[in-house]
């Protein structure tokens, strides 16, 4: 990374740190990661096997601070361990979409031609005709239930956005003077794409990554809620909501805590994504 790129990112970091909402969003996300990593140290209950049939659907108390579910399992423990699945749900589909979609977008935007216009662009248009959650639901149904299949389905649903954004940015950049200068001194197309174009596309992709992570969490919770994501015994926040739907009136806390956890984490990703957008766009005044 050259000095100019370093100075741009340093300025963006300072702009980001001045945005209180963005910093709060980042703190929420760091809190999620902390809980996911240190889950065994935050509760002594096992989220799956510790079942107290004498305390089924117990209200919050000193013994179970968030109450228990319909099998007497500690809700706090399931929420804490569920943070691991939530973190994985935020990372895995977006990583898949990034590492598959960005190279396709780079190739398509840089090379152009028949493959770009008649294969990649048409495929992206076809995939974008379906809402990402509906596409993920259809793919999960085809692939079969299970957490990893749900992650793959969500990642495929994100592919069109990453391809389209990368392709558009490459088309806007590939005829800039510094790219023409790199070609004139004999730089290979691969070097131009990876060294000269990709770093200038990354600011836009970083914003897309954070917003896609928020969507991935909602999608995973939705798929688990309807039974095509994580299995019922896994402490997924979506599966917790599925269990709680029968007790919304009599034991509302069973649904309240996982619902609040999902809302808080999604809000954190959205605030951080908006902060990144403002920090990386010099046209937006803080």
Give the model's pLDDT for residue 6: 55
Give the model's pLDDT for residue 139: 81
pTM over 0.85: yes
285 is a domain residue: no
286 is a domain residue: no
194 is a domain residue: yes
Number of compact structural domains in the chain: 1
Give the model's pLDDT for residue 267: 94
Q: What is the residue range of 123's domain?
A: 3-280
97 is a domain residue: yes
Give the per-residue SS3 of the chain.
CCHHHHHHHHHHHHHHHHCHHHHHHHHHHHHHHHHHHCHHHHCCCCCCCCCCCCCCCCCCCCCCCCCECCCCCEHHHHHHHHHHHHHHHHHHHHHHHHHHHHHHHHHHHHHCHHHHHHHHHHHHHHHHCCCHHHHHHHHHHHHCCCHHHHHHHHHHHHHHHHHHHHHHHHHHHCCCHHHHHHHHCCCCHHHHHHHHHHHHHHHHHHHHHHHHHHHHHHHHHHHHHCCCCCCCCCCCHHHHHHHHHHHCCCCCHHHHHHHHHHHHHHHHHHHHHHHHHHHHCCCCCC
Question: pLDDT tens, position by position, for the chain (286 residues)?
Answer: 555 555 667 787 888 888 899 999 999 999 999 999 999 999 888 888 888 888 888 888 888 888 888 888 888 999 999 999 999 999 999 999 999 999 999 999 888 778 888 888 888 888 887 777 777 888 877 877 788 888 888 998 899 999 999 999 898 888 888 888 888 887 887 888 888 888 888 888 998 999 999 999 998 888 888 878 777 778 888 888 888 888 888 888 888 889 999 999 999 999 998 988 888 776 666 5
What's the CATH number where 110 sits?
A: 1.10.3720.10
43 is a domain residue: yes
Give the model's pLDDT for residue 47: 87
Give the model's pLDDT for residue 49: 83
């Amino acid at each position: 990374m050259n000095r100019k790129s370093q100075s741009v990112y340093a300025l963006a970091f300072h702009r980001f740190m001045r945005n209180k909402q963005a910093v709060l969003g980042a703190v929420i996300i760091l809190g999620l990661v902390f809980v996911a990593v240190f889950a065994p140290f935050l509760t002594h209950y096992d989220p799956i096997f510790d079942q107290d049939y004498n305390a089924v659907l117990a209200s919050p108390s000193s013994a179970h601070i968030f109450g228990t579910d319909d099998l007497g399992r500690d809700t706090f423990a399931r929420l804490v361990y569920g943070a691991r699945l939530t973190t994985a749900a935020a990372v895995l589909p977006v990583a898949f979409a990034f590492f598959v979609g960005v190279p396709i977008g780079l190739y398509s935007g840089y090379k152009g031609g028949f493959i770009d216009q008649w294969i990649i662009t048409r495929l992206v248009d076809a995939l974008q005709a379906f809402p990402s959650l509906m596409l993920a639901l259809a793919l999960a149904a085809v692939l079969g239930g299970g957490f990893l299949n749900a992650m793959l389905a969500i990642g495929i649903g994100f592919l069109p956005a990453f391809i389209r954004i990368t392709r558009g940015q490459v088309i806007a950049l590939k005829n800039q003077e510094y790219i023409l200068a790199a070609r004139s001194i004999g730089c290979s197309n691969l070097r131009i794409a990876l060294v000269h174009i990709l770093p200038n596309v990354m600011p836009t992709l970083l914003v897309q990554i954070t917003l896609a992570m928020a969507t991935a969490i909602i999608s995973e919770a939705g798929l688990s809620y309807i039974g095509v994501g994580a299995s019922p015994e896994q402490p997924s926040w979506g599966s917790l909501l599925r269990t709680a739907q029968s007790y919304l009136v009599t034991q509302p806390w069973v649904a309240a805590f996982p619902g609040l956890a999902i809302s808080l984490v999604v809000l954190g990703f959205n605030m951080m994504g908006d902060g990144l957008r403002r920090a990386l766009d010099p046209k937006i005044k803080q």
